[in-house]
Structure 1
Amino acid sequence: MRLDKYLKVSRIIKRRTIAKEACESGRVSINNKVAKAGTVVAEGDTIEIKFANQILKAKIINIAEHVTKDTAKEMYEIVSGTEDKE
């Protein structure tokens, strides 16, 4: 799955366009490498997102095309930072 879509489906970032903009501005990295919006993510990857006033680091647990709001949090595990996003 593309990085921008994963960020949206997992609800780490609320909209795919915002996720794409974050990737294009270099604020998102996968396994310590700056990632583009089209980068394919895999289970076990670590995503780091630099928001305005914090850095969120999360490990991908699973990948699913469609999830409910309640099960979206099961797609990742917070390594550091908080879930207070955007």
Structure 2
Amino acid sequence: MRIDLFLKQSRLIKRRTVAKGAATKDLIIVNDKIVKPSYQVKVNDLITLNLGSKQIIVKVTSLIPKKDELMYDLISESFIGQKN
């Protein structure tokens, strides 16, 4: 499954065009590599999303969308530039 389609189906990003744009702008990193919209996602991939001032890291657990089940495990969610 393509990364842009996975992000849309998993509801990490609401629209596929937005997911495709994020990948085109090098805002999506999979396993420490910048990927393009056509990257084929695999189970156990670590996806880092840099969206605005927010960084989200998830681990892919499924490529098949199921009702009431997430397709990923949330590893971390943080705001870039946040002071502790």
The bucket for the TM-score relative to the shorter chain is 0.7 to 0.9
Determine helix, strand or coil for the equivalent of 2:21: helix
Structure with the higher helix share, 1 or 2: 1
Consecutive aligned runs of 4 or more in structure 1 exceeding 6 Å deviation: none
Q: Which amino acid aligns with 2:76?
A: S
Provide the residue aligned with 1:20 in structure 2. Answer: 20
The answer to which structure has the higher strand fraction is 2
TM-score by length of structure 2 reads 0.87
Aligned length: 78
Q: Which amino acid aligns with 2:77?
A: G
Higher-RCO chain (CA-CA 8 Å, sequence separation at least 6): 1
Cα displacement (A) at 1:67:
3.8
Q: Percent identity?
A: 33
Q: Which runs of 5+ in 2 are unaligned?
A: 79-84
RMSD: 1.2
Larger Rg: 2
Verify: 1:80 aligned to 2:84, yes or no: no
Unaligned runs of at least 5 residues, structure 1 = none
